[in-house]
Amino acid sequence: MAVEMLSYIDRKTPIHQLTGVTKLICFIVWSSAAMLTYDTRILAFLFIFSIVIFIVSKIKVSEVSFVLIFILVFLFINNMAIYLFSPQEGVKIYGSSHVLIEIAGRYNVTIEQIFYQCNVTLKYFAVIPIALLFIVTTHPSEFAASLNKIGVSYRISYAVALALRYIPDVQRDFRTIALSQQARGIDMSKKEKLPIRIKNAASIIFPLILSSLDKIETISNAMELRGFGKSNKRTWYSARPFQRGDYVTLFVFGVIFVTAMVVTFHDGNRFYNPFES
Amino acid sequence: MKKRVIEFNNYSFKYHSQAAPTLHDINITIFEGEKVLIVGPSGSGKSTIGHCINGLVPFSYKGEATGSLKIMGKDAHSLDIFSRSKIVGTVLQDPDGQFIGLTVGEDIAFSLENDSTEQGIMKNLVEETVKTVEMDEYLSSSIHHLSGGQKQRVSLAGVMVDKVEIILFDEPLANLDPATGQYAIELIDRIHKETNTTVVIIEHRLEDVLHRHVDRIIVVDDGRIVADMCPDKLLSSVILESSHIREPLYVRAAKYAGCDVIEEMKPSQLHSFSIESCKDKLLDWFEKANEAVPKEIKLPILQLKDISFRYAPGHETIKGISLSVEKGEMVSIVGKNGAGKSTLSKIICGFEKPRSGSILFKEQDITGDTIKERSFRIGMVMQNPNHMISKHLVFDEVALGLIIRGVPENEAKKQVEKVLKICGLYPFRNWPISALSFGQKKRVTIASILVLEPEVMILDEPTAGQDLRHYTEMMDFLAELNRQGMTILLITHDMHLMLEYTTRAIVMNKGRIIADDPPSMILTDSEITRQANLKETSLLVLAKRVGIKEPKEFVEHFIAYDREVRRQWQ
Amino acid sequence: MKGNQLSIKTIVAIGIGAAVFIILAKFAAVPSPVPNTSIQTSYAFLALMAVVFGPIAGGLIGLIGHALNDAISYGSVWWSWVAVSMIVGLLIGLAAKKLDIESGIFNTKKIITFNIVQVIAQGFGWFLVAPALDILIYAEPANKVFLQGLFAGVSNMVTVGVIGTLLLAGYAKTRSRSNSLTREL
């Protein structure tokens, strides 16, 4: 059951030096830009720029490869599905049809379809490096403080911090429970018939829920005893002050975002169409 | 006269969820700078007293109170939980529940953050406080890399950072190995002396707390205060015995020997205990009975051959362990946290696959068997019963494993009822498990394994968190199972358990077995006890002071005598 | 959102709930008969938490749990589906008062109410919101995303209907205080 998870990777680079707030804002700006635009030129620029940032961060591809492999498989399946369900989507969007390979009727491969699907893929690629970097270069302690700083209520920010703090504990509990139930013959793998499997799943989840409810009680007592929630704001031990790099970065990302939006929407259409004229 | 910091006056309390009051007409006064220990069996109401002091009653647990409670001279009802938290700092029993931050620094800063303290001031305060608990090297360490004892020290720092006037410890020794517990008591003592804070400790491990001086002990039984006096006076009375609280073993031994323990002998600490007057009686008592039990040699039931295991490359958790357990043995596995005890038991049950080596059951190789196949031979009872219970009623929970194995209903019913009778749970068979006490729940989990008829049972900390009476009940029950032929392996921190109930102890350290001998021999080997974070039993020190030439045999004699006496409680 | 309305217990429930949601999503998926798909037990848990702790907790457990799980497991966040988890948690939570699970009673009438609510909530989320957002953000073909949503929606409805109902029934039992317990010899 060894499923890997992404976590903070400590390095000394300008990317790591940026405050969590800056990285959080950049991540949001970047995701929004990539979600809104469908302009191939912008997407390509975003992708290349994010690769550069990735290199600066000195994070090795091998450290995140398990995620990359998953994403590549996902994108492959997704592309197959798009083609299967709507092989002429590109023709619909770009309003022209250049058949490249003839297969059969609507499954004829058009340049428009290939171009459209490349754009879909690029749209994912443009976000992945930045998202990955945000996760592996932001110290989890700083994360909640950053959320609070950009306007999320500190109570909800702290809920996020608690989730990050207790994931390993819950995972350990779950493993213990699953193993001890398995030792009594309660199995939820393929070896059992489906209805039994589902019932067994409930037998494994139920102790986890009860012990989590106990945990909720203990933790809320502990937090209450240490004065959580007494006033409308709180400070954060692990928040870091803004430095010049933060301002510069935010400015650059702001400019990129505005430019991207202007280029994308100046003609009233979020798609870049190389086929017209 | 000193300032009164805590004052209960004719105070009674009843939880809304319960029919009867938990505290009856309590009167306690605690003065500034005092160090007070509150002891009592489970369910006596000692934790409720703690809750009343720190404000969890009535802010978190609702109920009706009568009488008055004053904290720092103010009526407790006029203080909300936040102003209460500035006066009383609480160190909870469960370090994982209290350690909320991701790193040491963050957790210590938690209450400062809630006060909106400016970051610079906060950092200074945290750095200052972390030194008092000797954790300064770990300031930026993640919680997940700390041991239980270290987490507890951080929790302590987290309340000290507020400069509280009262520190309340709720069962501080519950999750610690003996040596770490001893260190915790020393640390509490040092902080008490240096800061002149009022310290209140709630704990039932009396002898361990008395490792350092306490001013007063309050004994709670059945919601009433049955004693409130200095330790020397309490130990020379019969109060502890009648409340079923374990006295320090050396005091017990002296009393068994017929010595008249009086206050002037200063029995509260072994080094101050003047035993001149009872030397002869102790020698006498020891010489009266001295019998050796011959050991029969039986067939090995479980054999481990050169087992190695690691969770991650580069760090071996188990390094080439070989051992053999005979049928009908009762063996304890001891060692400090992280020594590999739990991992070893998981390997035996098939929860983890060893990297090399083999496991033999009755000389048959079972290394490749699945968890399910192993479970027919070896049963494992986890430390936390809540991790094993998934049914609503006692009967259904115990029957679950049989039903899944496809045992016909009639047959299953017969077997379940038999096991419930053995475990003393038969009268409760139709009760919801949530209505049972912690110890009873633990029994339910043992019953649910027992019903599957394994030949070997492994129990992880079977008596954790249980008072002397429940401990005795549980262990006598296991000893009875053992007499009926069950082979039992116990993972434990409790040295007395190991001495009293097992014939053999396997000591682990850093993934290796460093000793495998009778417990009385292990506890007299100072090198082994040091490496494994164990503690020399006070009986041994007593025996040496009295001048007994065979201190080991003295310890064994005490254990046998004590067991007989306690059997009469039931 | 005004933070003052959230009690400490609710905040902790959101945090721990999100952590449990993640662990269940990663480790407690039951293999289903359809190849390459699994029954997501995490939504049954989400439904339970929403009923016990209310709509805000339900919504935030869905949001935080799903977003964090995407982030730490896949390195990117599929916001369109995250939004659905939030909406499902929120909508089921709206029925919390009516179901009043703390009373310890979870009878047939309540089981039916719960299932109607969860089917409506999930139908809205998976059949409408998820495909709409996928089309809006990624301009994916409509028929593909609707089929995806249909499949995810139906399988989650069945999961929550079966496992969620079992969990709620179990939870309700732990709440009922039986004052009339006697030892039977």
CB-based burial, C154-167: b 16+ in 10 Å, e otherwise: ebbbebbbbbbbbb
- Cα separation, B360 vs B303, whole angstroms: 5
Q: Do C173 and B432 touch (CB under 8 A)?
A: yes
Which CB contacts under 8 angstroms, 24+ apart, belong to B78-87? B79/B55, B80/B55, B81/A224, B81/A225, B81/B55, B82/A227, B82/A230, B84/B54, B84/B55, B85/A224, B85/A225, B85/A226, B85/A227, B85/B54, B85/B55, B85/B111, B85/B162, B85/B164, B86/A227, B86/B162, B86/B164, B87/B164, B87/B165, B87/B166
Tell me the average pLDDT across B547-562: 87
Closest CA relative to residue B236, chosen from B276, B257, B265, B279: B265
Q: List A residues 184-243 in contact with C (Cβ-Cβ < 8 A).
A: 188-190, 194, 197-199, 201-202, 204-206, 208-210, 212, 215-217, 219-220, 223-224, 228-229, 232
Shortest CA gap C9–chain B (Å): 10
Shortest CA gap B278–chain A (Å): 48
Q: Does A71 touch chain C (CB under 8 A)?
A: yes
pLDDT class for A136, splitting at 50, 70, 90?
A: very high
- Cα separation, B123 vs B359, whole angstroms: 53
More confident residue, B524 or A211: A211
pLDDT on residue B496: 84
pLDDT class for C2, splitting at 50, 70, 90?
A: very low
Per residue in B163-172, pLDDT (tens digit) is 999 999 999 9
**Which residues in chain C have their CB less than 8 angstroms from residue B392's CB?**
170, 173-174
B contact set with C (CB within 8 A): 17, 19, 392, 426-432, 434-435
Does the pLDDT value for residue A1 go beyond 60? Answer: no
- Cα separation, C175 vs C104, whole angstroms: 5
pLDDT on residue B569: 61
- Average pLDDT of chain B is 90
Residue A243 inside a domain? The answer is no
Residue ranges of domains in chain B, CATH in brackets = 4-233 (3.40.50.300), 246-288+537-570 (no CATH), 300-535 (3.40.50.300)
Residue written as tokens 């306490």?
B214
Q: Does B371 touch chain A (CB under 8 A)?
A: yes
Does the pLDDT value for residue A2 go beyond 70? Answer: no
Shortest CA gap C11–chain B (Å): 13
Shortest CA gap B177–chain C (Å): 28
Q: Hey, is A89 helix, strand or coil?
A: helix
Question: Around Cβ A142, how many Cβ atoms within 10 Å?
Answer: 24
Does the pLDDT value for residue B340 go beyond 50? Answer: yes
Shortest CA gap A36–chain C (Å): 6
Identify the domain containing residue A194 by its residue range: 154-237
Q: Does B372 touch chain A (CB under 8 A)?
A: yes
Q: Does B497 touch chain A (CB under 8 A)?
A: no
More confident residue, B570 or C29: C29
* Residue B383 and residue B464 in contact, taking contact as beta carbons nearer than 8 Å: yes
Residue A125 inside a domain? The answer is no
Pairs across A and B, CB distance < 8 A: 156
Closest CA relative to residue B506, chosen from B321, B347, B298: B321
Q: Does A240 touch chain B (CB under 8 A)?
A: no
Closest CA relative to residue C160, chosen from C57, C45, C68, C33: C45
CA distances B541 to A236, B554, B555, B563, Å, are: 51, 11, 10, 21
Nearest chain A alpha carbon to B109? A237
Shortest CA gap B50–chain A (Å): 12
Strand extents, DSSP E, B79-165: 88-91
**Which residues in chain A have their CB less than 8 angstroms from residue C44's CB?**
202, 205
pLDDT class for A193, splitting at 50, 70, 90?
A: confident
Residue written as tokens 């010489």?
B287
- Cα separation, B35 vs B38, whole angstroms: 10
Residue A197 inside a domain? The answer is yes
Tally the domains of chain A. 1
Q: Which of A169, A175, A184 to mutate to test the interface with B (most CBs of B within 10 A)?
A: A184
Q: Hey, is B307 helix, strand or coil?
A: strand
Nearest chain B alpha carbon to A197? B404
Tell me the average pLDDT across C4-17: 90
DSSP per residue, C135-177: HHHH---HHHHHHHHHHHHHHHHHHIIIIIHHHHHHHHHHH--
Question: Around Cβ B120, how many Cβ atoms within 10 Å?
Answer: 8
**Which residues in chain B have their CB less than 8 angstroms from residue C170's CB?**
392
Shortest CA gap A277–chain C (Å): 23
Q: Do B392 and C170 touch (CB under 8 A)?
A: yes
Q: How far is CA C15 from the centre of its chain?
A: 15
Indicate the pairing of strand B378-381 with strand B456-460.
parallel
**Which residues in chain C have their CB less than 8 angstroms from residue A178's CB?**
27-28
Cross-strand bridge partners of residue C47:
none
* Residue B495 and residue B532 in contact, taking contact as beta carbons nearer than 8 Å: no
pLDDT on residue A101: 85
* Residue B58 and residue B65 in contact, taking contact as beta carbons nearer than 8 Å: yes
pLDDT on residue B115: 93
Secondary structure string (H, E, C) spanning A129-192: HHHHHHHHHCCHHHHHHHHHHCCCCHHHHHHHHHHHHHHHHHHHHHHHHHHHHHCCCCCCCCCC
Q: Do A205 and C163 touch (CB under 8 A)?
A: yes
- Cα separation, C86 vs C70, whole angstroms: 14
DSSP element (H, E) containing B228: strand B224-229
Does the pLDDT value for residue C97 go beyond 70? Answer: yes
Shortest CA gap B568–chain C (Å): 23
Shortest CA gap B285–chain A (Å): 47
Q: Do A207 and B382 touch (CB under 8 A)?
A: no
Per residue in B120-141, pLDDT (tens digit) is 999 999 999 999 999 999 999 9
pLDDT class for C47, splitting at 50, 70, 90?
A: very high
Tell me the average pLDDT across B1-20: 89
- Cα separation, B436 vs C131, whole angstroms: 49
pLDDT class for B302, splitting at 50, 70, 90?
A: very high
Q: Hey, is A233 helix, strand or coil?
A: coil
Identify the domain containing residue C34 by its residue range: 8-174
Residue of B392, B429, B430 with shortest CB distance to C173: B392
pLDDT on residue B102: 92
Residue of C16, C30, C77 with shortest CB distance to A215: C16
In the sheet that B4-15 helps form, which strands lie side by side, from edge to edge?
B23-31, B4-15, B63-71, B74-75
Q: Do A197 and C6 touch (CB under 8 A)?
A: no
DSSP per residue, B375-425: TTTEEEE-S-GGGT---SBHHHHHHHHHHHTT--HHHHHHHHHHHHHHTT-
Tell me the average pLDDT across B264-273: 92
Residue C39 inside a domain? The answer is yes
**Which residues in chain B have their CB less than 8 angstroms from residue C185's CB?**
426-427
Q: Does A170 touch chain B (CB under 8 A)?
A: no
Tell me the average pLDDT across B240-254: 91
Nearest chain B alpha carbon to A241? B119
- Cα separation, A178 vs B176, whole angstroms: 26
Residue C72 inside a domain? The answer is yes
C contact set with B (CB within 8 A): 170, 173-174, 176-179, 181, 183-185
End-to-end CA, chain B: 46
Closest CA relative to residue C92, chosen from C41, C28, C44, C150: C44
More confident residue, C19 or A198: C19
Does the pLDDT value for residue A183 go beyond 90? Answer: no
Q: Does A85 touch chain C (CB under 8 A)?
A: yes
Q: Which of C37, C51, C74, C133 to mutate to test the interface with A (most CBs of A within 10 A)?
A: C74
pLDDT class for B339, splitting at 50, 70, 90?
A: confident
Nearest chain C alpha carbon to B421? C185
Q: Which chains touch B (3 or more CB pairs under 8 A)?
A: A, C
Residue of B98, B122, B375 with shortest CB distance to A184: B375
Cross-strand bridge partners of residue A110:
A99
Per residue in B425-472, pLDDT (tens digit) is 899 898 888 888 788 888 899 999 999 989 999 999 888 777 788 888
Shortest CA gap C15–chain B (Å): 11
pLDDT on residue A238: 92
The percent of residues in chain A predicted with pLDDT above 70, rounded, is: 99
End-to-end CA, chain C: 56
Task: Give me the amino acid identity at A71.
Answer: I
**Which residues in chain B have their CB less than 8 angstroms from residue A240's CB?**
none
Does the pLDDT value for residue B570 go beyond 60? Answer: no
Q: In the numeric block, which tokens belong to residue C23?
A: 């662990």
Tell me the average pLDDT across A28-51: 92
Per residue in B49-86, pLDDT (tens digit) is 999 999 998 888 889 999 999 999 999 988 888 889 89
- Average pLDDT of chain C is 89
Residue C20 inside a domain? The answer is yes
Tell me the average pLDDT across B349-353: 91
Residue of B427, B429, B432 with shortest CB distance to C178: B432
Q: Is the bond preceding residue B58 a cis peptide, omega within 30 degrees?
A: yes
Q: Is A32 exposed, middle or buried (0-12, 13-18, 19+ CB in 10 A)?
A: middle
Domain CATH for C128: 1.10.1760.20
pLDDT class for B292, splitting at 50, 70, 90?
A: low
Does the pLDDT value for residue A7 go beyond 70? Answer: yes
Shortest CA gap C7–chain A (Å): 8
Residue of C8, C48, C139 with shortest CB distance to A38: C139
- Cα separation, B506 vs A13, whole angstroms: 49
Residue C2 inside a domain? The answer is no
**Which residues in chain A have their CB less than 8 angstroms from residue C24's CB?**
174, 205, 208
- Cα separation, B125 vs B78, whole angstroms: 29
Tally the domains of chain C. 1
pLDDT class for B290, splitting at 50, 70, 90?
A: low
Per residue in A194-250, pLDDT (tens digit) is 888 888 888 889 999 999 999 999 999 999 999 998 888 999 999 999 999 999 999
pLDDT on residue A203: 86
Q: How many residues comprise chain C?
A: 185
Pairs across B and C, CB distance < 8 A: 21
**Which residues in chain A have their CB less than 8 angstroms from residue B56's CB?**
221, 224-225
Q: In the numeric block, which tokens belong to residue B299?
A: 């067939």
Residue C161 inside a domain? The answer is yes
pLDDT on residue B495: 85
The percent of residues in chain A predicted with pLDDT above 90, rounded, is: 58
The percent of residues in chain B predicted with pLDDT above 70, rounded, is: 98
Does the pLDDT value for residue A143 go beyond 70? Answer: yes
- Cα separation, B355 vs B364, whole angstroms: 19
Per residue in B178-217, pLDDT (tens digit) is 889 999 999 999 999 999 899 999 998 899 999 999 999 9
Q: Do A184 and B400 touch (CB under 8 A)?
A: yes
Q: Is B525 exposed, middle or buried (0-12, 13-18, 19+ CB in 10 A)?
A: middle
Q: How far is CA B25 from the centre of its chain?
A: 29
* Residue B41 and residue B467 in contact, taking contact as beta carbons nearer than 8 Å: yes
DSSP per residue, B248-271: PHHHHHHHHTT----GGG-TTSTT
Cross-strand bridge partners of residue A271:
A38
pLDDT on residue C161: 94
Residue written as tokens 């001998």?
B517
Does the pLDDT value for residue B525 go beyond 90? Answer: no
Per residue in C106-143, pLDDT (tens digit) is 999 999 999 999 999 999 999 999 999 999 988 889 99
Roughly what angle, to the nearest 10 degrees, separates helices C41-53 and C142-159? 70
Per residue in B303-324, pLDDT (tens digit) is 999 999 998 887 888 999 999 9
Q: Which of B86, B94, B366, B371 to mutate to test the interface with A (most CBs of A within 10 A)?
A: B371
